[in-house]
A and B are shown apart, each in its own frame.
Chain A
Amino acid sequence: MATVLDLHAHSEASEDSRAPVEAYLNWIKMRRAQVPVDGVVLTEHRQWNGNADYRALEDKFGVRVLKAAEVETDYGHVLVFGVTDEMAQRFDFTNIHIPAQELIDEVARMGGIAVPCHPGRPNIGLYEHYVKKPVLENVIAVELLNGGSRKGENERAAELIAKHGYRATGGSDSHLVSLIGLCATRFEADIKDIEALVRELKTGNYEAVDFRPKRKPVPHAIPAEAS
């Protein structure tokens, strides 16, 4: 059974989001046709929200909630899936200059996976850092579709993926309730927990999927003259 997960979302636990987790889940439940995701992964900024327990909300809304983290490195922002207490002790997640190569290797050694996100974004994306610095080793996947990207950013991510042969994920990067699930990742496998998610990100079959509504073309203010 396939699973569709929004791999990148911020709840009010992140300082720049005002979205309660319950509101995210309610939004998904009420709009399954537009946002056909089975669950969300909360990737709070620069923190590991290890004690948060969303099982009651999962049961109430029938939407899976998994936890990860978004940290800041010398190669931009990186999503860390499969965070353990050991990992959170090994790295100071509040540090905005975590060495990316060390993070990728250590996270893998500890059983997780580090996925650079919004790689096409200025300053905090892999694309720009690769122009100035050596290419990172042992990167398995990067975020192809990010719901918060501006024009050209996801295109640069696609270019990077094609060049380096990375696998591609998708996530909304939602900080507002109404943006949850607009980009996501479709896995072939059934994913019920973070261990399964990490395993599938490393070796499974998946693709980034885009549920953003297509923009209607802007009509001309003055009708073009018939030629």
Chain B
Amino acid sequence: MVDFDPELINRIFETTEPVPVTREKIAKFCAAIGETNPLFTDDEAAKKGPYGGVIAPPSYATTFRNGRHFFQHVPRYGRAGMDAGKDVEIIAPIRPGDTISLSSAVKEIYDKTGRSGTMVFVVVRSTLRNQKNEIVAHIDHRFMNRP
């Protein structure tokens, strides 16, 4: 099994400055990805919807960036690696007027074998919170290392 310091797990290594969410930003994001759902684009229609107003589309959660030094804190194993994908879990709507900050920690480290040999995976979880300190989303960044 891969050797690592268990104290690394779930220890938050960075929290970003809050980033404001505006109605305009949501509109631009919707235009960029071709989103036409009135829950995200039409103020009048969204008012009558389940959220009482426009909210950001779920994929908007991926627009928030980690800090500049994020990769300095991601453990590395061996000589090479690659981004092995991301899982996004939406917990609560992101609304215009919110400010969102990310805090990141190593969630999991594990190894596995595949066609190409042994790989070590490091999963870093970024938790998105709004100005009320409510969790709005989790993003799990999965990095593969070749030991």
Chain A residues with CB under 8 Å of chain B are 15, 45-46, 72, 76-77, 92, 94-96, 121-124, 150
Contact = CB atoms under 8 A, between A and B. Distances in A.
Nearest to A97: B1
Interface in B103-144: 110-118, 121, 142
Contact of B115 (A45, A46, A123): A123
Interface residues of B, number: 12
17 contacts: A15-B142, A46-B112, A92-B1, A94-B1, A94-B110, A95-B1, A96-B1, A96-B111, A96-B112, A122-B115, A123-B114, A123-B115, A123-B117, A124-B113, A124-B114, A124-B115, A150-B115
A121 B110 CA distance: 22
Contacts of B112: 45-46, 72, 96
Interface of B: 1, 110-118, 121, 142
A150 B115 CA distance: 10
Contacts of B110: 15, 46, 94
Contacts of A72: 112-113
Nearest to A46: B112
Contacts of B117: 123
A15 B115 CA distance: 17
Contacts of A94: 1, 110
Contacts of A77: 113
B115 A96 contact: no
Output the residue of B112, B116, B118 with the most chain A CB within 10 A: B112
Given A46-B112, A72-B112, A72-B113, A96 B121 contact: no
